[in-house]
């Protein structure tokens, strides 16, 4: 590989530690990535030299904190191609960002006789908020199905979108790694008068993102999956949509004026950022974006295609028919997420054996139970790749899976 993984790994303190004398093969970045020292130091620097609450104080320390916080917003906006930094709303995570859309736009625009469309690839974060709102407001939820190889089945898309007001879809499945054709879906939704909400949690960390080129109306993602800290997510929305939406949470920071008779909300994005925001987390996210930009998102995507191709080939060669890899069989239409099923062995048992070999993967339904039912499995053992992984990690995964197969063999 031309990608210098060893140089990258040096920036991640947690990857320097051995587990039972072995190099840790961390293959759970789809759940939460590790952080480079640059992110840790950026947050530490803010706390030790420039921390104060933002948007309120007029003393110099508060102004420095506010400037750092708003610079982070601009950094995010540039990274995703947002036309304006005011279209970037900081949230607690992507789940909160999607709840914001459902609770604000959805509550104001959906009711009996209306419909939205979701896909079977969705994380619970893009299902449950809509189910909760549907129970309250009485609209219909329609479902976009899948092909045999885990791609979205678009044959019935026009019918599903007929009369729908929103299409909510993931840009990349956190279970199958499937990359969905967002621009095609956005154009189809708009042709039918619907908006499109994109859950980009798994795609933004791994490939270039341009919200305008995507044709999206709303995009949600989380900092902790892209080398940043926990506790911060992003909602991007088109300015005219955000301006028309009512506030989601009430309190300090989101108001222009309050009287005993009522309140006037502030302008976007403050309207959706009630209370003290994630100040240090925003600075950490900006540092993470700087780190990713330094490497280059195109380079990261190329690396992951190469590594995913190697993983698919290696696992098939080493384990044959005893291992099922769910999702697209070619690396180009997928990300580096491999949901594995070792025949006759439960995913949790597989994960425990792999941990004994210093291979960290995640077993479970991955907050995608409708997809699990479609696949006909209760859980999978998910290995997910990122920029700090290399062929040694894949080889360690294959070795550990072989050991698990032998351990559980009758």
CATH number at residue 157: 3.40.640.10
The pLDDT tens digits of the residues spanning 238-261 come to 999 999 999 999 999 999 999 999
Model pLDDT, residue 129: 98
Active centre residues (catalytic): 367
Residue 214 CA to residue 210 CA, distance in Å, equals 6
- Specify whether 264 is located in the same domain as 300: no
Residue 21 lies in a domain: no
Mean pLDDT estimate for the chain: 97
Model pLDDT, residue 78: 98
Among residues 175, 105, 230, 138, the alpha carbon closest in space to that of 369 is found at 175
Instruction: Evaluate the CA torsion angle 212, 141, 225, 228 in order and state its sign.
Output: positive
From 25-29, 52-56, 65-69, 167-171, the region with the lowest mean pLDDT: 52-56
- Specify whether 242 is located in the same domain as 330: no
Query: In the chain, what percentage of residues exceed pLDDT 90?
Result: 98
- Specify whether 139 is located in the same domain as 258: yes
Residue 215 lies in a domain: yes
- Specify whether 52 is located in the same domain as 103: yes
Main-chain dihedrals φ then ψ at residue 400, nearest 5 degrees: -70, -35
Main-chain dihedrals φ then ψ at residue 224, nearest 5 degrees: -75, -10
- Specify whether 113 is located in the same domain as 152: yes
Let me know: does 80 contact 219? Beta carbons within 8 Å. Answer: yes
Cis ω for the linkage preceding 152 (within 30 of 0): no
Q: Domain count of the chain?
A: 2
- Specify whether 90 is located in the same domain as 71: yes
Model pLDDT, residue 3: 77
- Specify whether 46 is located in the same domain as 180: yes
Q: Rounded to two decimals, what is the model's pTM?
A: 0.97
Residue 73 CA to residue 217 CA, distance in Å, equals 18
If pLDDT is split at 50, 70 and 90, which confidence band does 369 have? very high
Q: Where among 247, 276, 293 does a domain terminate?
A: 293
Model pLDDT, residue 2: 56
pLDDT at 167 over 60: yes
Residue 91 CA to residue 395 CA, distance in Å, equals 38
If pLDDT is split at 50, 70 and 90, which confidence band does 409 have? confident
User: In which domain, by residue range, is 345 found?
Assistant: 296-408
């Amino acid at each position: 590989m031309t990608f210098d993984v060893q140089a990258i790994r040096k920036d991640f303190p947690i990857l320097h530690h051995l587990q039972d004398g072995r190099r840790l093969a961390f293959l759970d970045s789809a759940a939460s990535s590790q952080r480079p020292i640059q992110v840790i130091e950026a947050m530490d620097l803010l706390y030790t030299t420039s921390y104060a609450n933002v948007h309120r104080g007029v003393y110099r320390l508060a102004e420095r904190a506010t400037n750092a916080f708003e610079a982070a917003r601009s950094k995010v906006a540039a990274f995703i191609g947002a036309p304006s930094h005011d279209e970037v709303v900081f949230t607690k995570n992507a789940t909160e960002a999607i709840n914001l859309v459902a609770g604000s736009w959805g509550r104001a625009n959906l009711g009996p006789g209306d419909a939205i469309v979701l896909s079977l690839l969705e994380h619970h974060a893009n299902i449950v908020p809509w189910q909760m709102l549907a129970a309250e407001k009485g609209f219909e939820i329609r479902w976009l199905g899948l092909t045999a190889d885990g791609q979205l089945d678009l044959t019935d898309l026009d019918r599903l979108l007929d009369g729908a007001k929103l299409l909510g879809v993931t840009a990349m499945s956190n279970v199958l790694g499937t990359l969905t054709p967002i621009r095609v879906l956005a154009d189809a939704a708009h042709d039918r008068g619907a908006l499109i909400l994109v859950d980009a949690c798994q795609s933004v960390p791994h490939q270039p993102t341009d919200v305008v080129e995507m044709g999206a109306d709303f995009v949600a993602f989380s900092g902790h999956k892209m080398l940043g800290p926990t506790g911060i997510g992003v909602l991007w929305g088109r300015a005219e949509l955000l301006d028309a939406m009512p506030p989601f949470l009430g309190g300090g920071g989101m108001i222009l004026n309050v009287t005993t008779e009522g309140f006037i909300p502030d302008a976007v994005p403050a309207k959706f950022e009630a209370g003290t925001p994630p100040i240090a987390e925003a600075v950490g996210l900006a540092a993470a974006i700087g780190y990713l930009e330094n490497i280059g998102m195109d380079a990261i995507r190329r690396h992951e295609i190469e590594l995913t191709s190697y993983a698919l080939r290696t696992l098939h060669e080493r384990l044959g028919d005893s291992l099922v890899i769910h999702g697209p069989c070619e690396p180009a239409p997928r990300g580096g997420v491999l949901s594995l099923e070792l025949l006759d062995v439960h995913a949790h048992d597989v994960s425990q054996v792999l941990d004994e070999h210093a291979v960290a993967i995640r077993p479970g339904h991955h907050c995608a139970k409708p997809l699990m039912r479609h696949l006909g499995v209760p859980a999978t053992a998910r290995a997910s790749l990122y920029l700090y992984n290399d062929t040694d990690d894949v080889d360690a995964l294959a070795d550990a899976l072989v050991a698990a197969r032998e351990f559980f063999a009758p």
